[in-house]
Amino acid sequence: MLAILFGLMTGTSVLAAPQRVVSVNLCTDQLAMLLADPGQLLSVSYLAADPRASVMVEAAAGRVLNRGGAEEVFLMRPDLVLAGTYTARASVDLLRRLGVAVVELPPANRLADVPAHLRAVGAALGQQARAEALVAEFNAGLEAVRVPQVPSVTAAFYHPNGYTTGAGTLADDILSVTGFINAGATAGVTGGGILPLERLVMVAPELIVTSAPYPGASRSEDILRHPALEVLRAKAAARRMSDADWICGIPHILRAVAGMAAAHKALTP
């Protein structure tokens, strides 16, 4: 069915797999690298080669990197472009007006989106069997690390500028399946937003999750060294995560799930 829908959307034959695929979105980059045949994926975005954002830096090595500009992509003569629904609209719209087939993928907001995204990109690439194999592996891996109990331990994401991740997000779903209550969600944050330090102190989560600092100095990171947060850290467990493990709804997200499951086990022996 997905292959038929893809053919209807792009006007291409469902029997002819594209051979010059360009991806302009970090998440479609990684899905395509997992699914494409050798030589089928012509180019991926420059973010695929950034270890702070991508878990597939080695797979991206040696590939042509792009920055998603319509002119740049059009000159590659792609027969399919993979993009995210929030990829630069001007570029996507112009490519479509130039007659280029574009398939857009929305962000993954829950773990259940991972199989759907694998199948969608698999259908677009003509790699349905490979996608189904990865779906089966992902589902088995998720069940192996899922914490089989009602969430009972409070965790808070706390990043530069007091940024947190709340309800309706992939990160929130990961906390839920690993036995955690998301402090950001209970504070009323939907999607991403700011969690005031005072509110964080009042919640007093058992676990504080932060990301690895970027090189150099940044005022936005000053709040992570605030004395009140240091006192809170002394009472709570802390976990530093790799942003790359959490960004995209791809099978590698199981690394983030496994890490949080391990953190929950350490807090509830």
Cα(268)–Cα(55) distance, rounded to whole angstroms?
30
Would you state the structure tokens that stand for residue 201, as one six-digit string?
Answer: 């102190």
Cα(256)–Cα(123) distance, rounded to whole angstroms?
27
Q: Are residues 121 and 159 in the same domain?
A: no
Task: Decide which of 98, 122, 142 is a domain's last residue.
Answer: 142
Q: Is the pLDDT of residue 13 over 50?
A: no
Q: How confident is the model at residue 164 (pLDDT cuts 50, 70, 90)?
A: very high
Q: Which domain holds residue 250?
A: 153-267
Task: Tell me what pLDDT residue 213 has.
Answer: 76
Task: Tell me what pLDDT residue 217 has.
Answer: 65
Express each pLDDT in 17-73 by its tens digit.
999 999 999 999 999 999 999 999 999 999 999 999 999 999 999 999 999 999 999
Task: Tell me what pLDDT residue 16 has.
Answer: 83
Cβ atoms of residues 43 and 64 within 8 Å: yes
Q: Are residues 100 and 28 in the same domain?
A: yes
Q: Are residues 25 and 73 in the same domain?
A: yes
Number of domain units in the chain: 2
Q: What is the pTM of this model?
A: 0.90
Sheet (strand 80-84) strand order: 64-66, 41-45, 21-23, 80-84, 102-105
Residue 146, class by beta-carbon neighbours within 10 Å (0-12 exposed, 13-18 middle, 19+ buried)? middle
Look at the block and give the residue holding tokens 């690895």: 212
Task: Decide which of 74, 107, 142 is a domain's last residue.
Answer: 142
Mean predicted confidence (pLDDT) in 161-185: 96
Task: Decide which of 108, 142, 176 is a domain's last residue.
Answer: 142
Q: Does residue 107 form part of some domain?
A: yes
Q: Are residues 131 and 205 in the same domain?
A: no
Q: Does residue 159 form part of some domain?
A: yes
Q: Does residue 148 form part of some domain?
A: no
CATH of the domain at 121: 3.40.50.1980
Q: Is the pLDDT of residue 198 over 70?
A: yes
